[in-house]
Amino acid sequence: MIEAARAKVNLALHLRRRRDDGYHDLETLFVFTDFGDVLRVQAEEELSLALTGPLAAAVGDGDNLVLRAARALAAAAGVAAGAALTLDKHIPVAAGLGGGSADAAAALRLLNRFWRLDWPVARLLPIAALLGADVPACLVGGTVMGTGRGEILTEVEIGVAGTPILLVNPRVAVPTGPVFAGWDRVDRGALDPAAWRMSRNDLEPPAILLAPVIAAVLAALAKTGASLVRMSGSGATCFALYATIADRDFAATSVESAHPGWWVCPTTIV
Ligand code: C5P
């Protein structure tokens, strides 16, 4: 059995308030891409995880979110069986693409089928929320507005499905916590999902302070004829949207040749 763990992109992200629990109340517009990791499962008495793929080495093993998701679901459902999981890792780690969260959500969806629980998504959501702020959005997928820590979800229709998107990461891992902690705590107002194009990612300035190369990524993408250029999540991955696949692929080639060290991924919003 196999399950896609799609990369997450925050089309816009507004921070509203630092909370007493260390998290931030935010408003964000999540979309998912054709590109991502792939999780596979086979029968096994014990629970295990093997890593394959180009970015397997970048994943820390000890506290992997896939195993935490599997253990949480097994405990909640009283499952005694194990599972041999294989994660084919393509999404850069600590990159603002929700890789770990997508993997955890894929584990919940996959094992829900594999262990024949067939729980509705609504029953998996509380488990997802305990695993991380972005895991519920990754579980639901599609175009969703997230509020609270990002775990309170509302479906929205903004007509972006099928849009060609280019993801570019300068191969600098940016830890999420310090980026949030660097926010200037100025509430710049609510996110209107209908006006997301005119909106922003409030984490861009603190992320650029920690990793100045992000400004260079945004500048490089701004020269490619994109209809919109922005950072995703807490960075360092930035994205650009294009009218056509040919425009996107032309941009990918030009960014790649100007910056051979950067990770460049042409894909599509699902
Ligand atoms: O929930 P998750 O483990 O993915 O969050 C990682 C870190 O991101 C948190 O420890 C916190 O520092 C920051 N964060 C936040 N506010 C949010 C989501 C994440 O401050 N709404």
Q: Are 8 and 97 in contact (CB under 8 A)?
A: yes
pLDDT of residue 247: 98
Pairing, β 83-88 against β 47-52: parallel
Which amino acid residue places its CA nearest to atom 21 of ligand 1? 149
Distances (CA, A) of 253 to 168, 224, 248, 260, 263: 12, 10, 9, 10, 12
pLDDT of residue 138: 98
pLDDT of residue 59: 87
Ligand 1 geometric centre to CA of 178 (Å): 10
For residue 234, the ligand 1 atom closest to its alpha carbon is 8
8 assigned to active site: yes
More confident residue, 110 or 59: 110
Ligand 1 geometric centre to CA of 114 (Å): 30
**Residues linked to residue 268 through DSSP beta bridges, in sequence order:** 164
Q: Is the CB of 193 within 6 Å of ligand 1?
A: no
Mean pLDDT of 34-43: 98
Q: Is the CB of 11 within 6 Å of ligand 1?
A: no
Q: In this prediction, what percent of the chain has a pLDDT beyond 90?
A: 97
**What's the rounded Cα separation, in Å, for the pair 216 and 136?**
32
Asked whether residue 162 carries a pLDDT value surpassing 90, the answer given is yes
**What's the rounded Cα separation, in Å, for the pair 169 and 244?**
21
Residues 178-210 have pLDDT tens digits of 999 999 999 999 999 999 999 999 999 999 999
Asked whether residue 89 carries a pLDDT value surpassing 60, the answer given is yes
The pLDDT confidence band at residue 238, using thresholds 50, 70 and 90, is very high
Q: Is the CB of 174 within 6 Å of ligand 1?
A: no
